[in-house]
Amino acid sequence: RKEVEQDPGPFNVPEGATVAFNCTYSNSASQSFFWYRQDCRKEPKLLMSVYSSGNEDGRFTAQLNRASQYISLLIRDSKLSDSATYLCVGVYTGGFKTIFGAGTRLFVKA
């Protein structure tokens, strides 16, 4: 079993739709979690951190449930420019070892 698992998708949604991605992790030593965005085999870039209390940044909301070892990302009012691969990332206690999920592909269509 992978340490960080994501639904690979692809998710095909129309502009304006709300879409939710899920991620589960198996190693409770993972301390911190993040969502990264990757465009077409370019370098990943940080989208947002994930906290138990939730984290909202404009149209994006991320949530961590430590009891269920579950992470979510919600995108509201999808834009064409949101089309990308979204990577769920866990960082181990100590801040050095990093585990990436395989990514979820999103296509937003006009």
Of 67, 68, 95, 110, which lies in the binding site for another protein, with binding defined by CB under 8 A? 95
- Pattern 43-62, another protein, x by CB under 8 A: xxxx--x-------------
Please check whether residue 99 is in contact with residue 30, taking contact to mean a CB–CB distance below 8 angstroms: yes
Query: For another protein, which stretch binds (CB under 8 A), given 16-24, 52-60, 71-79, 95-103?
Result: 95-103
Instruction: Based on the shown chain and the rule CB under 8 A, indicate whether residue 42 belongs to the binding site for another protein.
Output: yes
Instruction: Based on the shown chain and the rule CB under 8 A, indicate whether residue 41 belongs to the binding site for another protein.
Output: yes
The contacts of residue 106 (CB under 8 Å, 6+ apart) are 9, 10, 11, 13, 19, 21, 75, 78, 82, 83, 84, 85, 86
Binding site for another protein (CB under 8 A): 8, 32, 34, 41-46, 49, 87, 94-103
